[in-house]
Amino acid sequence: MTSSIRNFIIAGVVAVAASAGAFAAFTRTAPVSAAVFEVRAIDVQGHPVAGAEVWLETQQVGMTDSFGIWRRNLKLPESSEARFHFRKRFAGSKTNGILREYAAVKSFHVGKAGQKRAENHRGSVKLEPVRI
Q: 18 with 77, same domain?
A: no
* Pair 55, 43 in one domain: yes
pLDDT of residue 4: 64
Per-residue pLDDT of the chain (132 residues; tens, 9 = 90+): 566 666 556 655 555 555 545 444 444 456 777 889 999 999 989 999 999 999 998 999 999 999 999 999 998 888 889 999 999 988 766 666 667 889 999 999 888 766 666 678 899 999 998 875
Residue 82: its pLDDT value, please?
Answer: 92
Beta bridge partners of 23: none
One domain for residues 70 and 19: no
Q: Are residues 42 and 97 in the same domain?
A: yes
Give the CA dihedral 118, 111, 43, 93, nearest 10 degrees.
-90
Amino acid 17: pLDDT = 52
Distance, CA of 46 to CA of 115 (rounded, Å): 35
Q: How many domains, in total, are found in the chain?
A: 2
Judgement on whether residues 81 and 17 belong to the same structural domain of the protein: no
**Which pLDDT belongs to residue 9?**
61
Say if residue 61 is in the same domain as residue 23: no
> In terms of domains, do 63 and 105 share one?
yes
- Is the domain of 83 the same as that of 25? no
Check if the beta carbon of residue 50 is closer than 8 Å to that of residue 89: no
Domain that holds residue 104: 32-130
Q: Are residues 43 and 81 in the same domain?
A: yes
